[in-house]
Structure 1
Amino acid sequence: MGLSTPDGTTLARKVEKEGTEHWQQLTPARYIYKSQELTVASVFQETKGEVLSAYFGGMKFAAVGTGAPKNYRAEISSIPKSDVRALCVDWTDVVSDEEIYSHRLYLPRAEVSETEDAQFSRTQEARWGLTFSALAPPKGKTYIAVWLTNDPAVLFGAPAVATGALDVIAEDRPPGK
C-alpha cells in the first residue's frame, strides 16, 4: 500500500481459550478454544487511493470538472461498508552480506478492523494508521495466513546455540536420552 513510518509493522495474534475444570486437579485438563485473531498494523505515510480506500472503507475517487489541473472527489459514506482484500507484508532480514533472507506474510482475506486518528502537520507527511484483521478462510481452505521465507532458521531441528537453563537440563540427561 505504500511507505510506512519507521516504527514498521506490528503483527499480533490473540487466542482466547478457556480451561476445563475438574474435581481431581486444580489445573485444566484441556483447553476449549473460543476465538483467534491475527492482526497486522502499520501507519502509512502516503495519501493515495489505496490507503484512503482502506481507511474509509472502500472509498474511491473520481475526476470532476474539465479544467486543468484535474480535481478528484470522493464521498465518505454515512454507512460503513465491508472492504475485504488480500494483504501481503514483505520484509528482509539482513544478517550479513552473505545471509539475506526474505519473508512474506500473506492474508488471503483481511479487512480493516481499526483506524488510528489521521495526523496532518506542517512538519511531517500525513499519517494513516490502519489495523487489518484476518478473516475466516476462503471456501475449501483451512488457514487464515501463509508465511513464505527462504530463511532456514525457521525449520525445526535447525542448529541453534543452547544457553542457560537448557544447558543444565541437557547435562542432567543420561547419554543417548
Structure 2
Amino acid sequence: MEPEPLTATLTATLTAWAAWVGVVVAASALVISVLAWRAAHRSAKAAERAVHQQQTPTFTAEIEPVNGGKWHRLAVRLDGPNDLDDLTVDILDKELIYVSDRNREPQPEEAQRRHVATDDDNRPGLAIGDTVMWRVAAAGKHVHGDQVTLRCIAKVGKAEWKPLVSVEVPRSLRPKAQARWV
C-alpha cells in the first residue's frame, strides 16, 4: 500500500526542515566552541603575561667613587626573584661610559654595554644577591644630570625582561657648582 501523497509530502518537508535544524545547531555549536577556544587562549596569554611580569628581575645599582674619586665603579646587584642565565647592562645616558682598566677609550659600541653570561660549568650568570662591577667614567669632563638610567636585559632560559634602573650620579662625576654674584 502506498502512502498518501499529502503524508509523503509532509514527511519529506519535515525531514528537510529537521536536516536544516541539525545543520544550524551544528554550525552554532562550532561557532560557540571557536569563541570558547579564543576566550581560553586569551585568558592563558593574560595569565602567562602576569607570571612573566611577577618574575621581572629587580636590581639595585650604585656608582661609587674609588681612590678619592679618581675613578668610579658601577655596581649592579640582582635583588631577585630568580637567578639569571644572562645579563646585559646598557647605559642609556651617553654622558656616562664603561671604561676598561687597560684602555681608557673603549670603542663606541662597547662604551654603553656590558654583558655577564653563563659560565662553562652552566652555573647561572648571576645569582640572587650577586653584584657585578664595572669601571665607568664621564664621556666628557662631567655627567650633568643627577641620575643616569640603565637598561638591564635579563634572561632566564627563553624568557627575557628589560627593566630600567635609575642610578644616582656621585658628586665627584658632576660639575662643580659655580658661585653666582647676585
TM range (shorter): under 0.3
Structure ranking higher on relative contact order (CA contacts 8 Å, 6+ apart):
2
- Of Structure 1 and Structure 2, the greater strand share is in 1
Larger CA Rg, structure 1 vs 2: 2
TM-score, length basis structure 1: 0.27
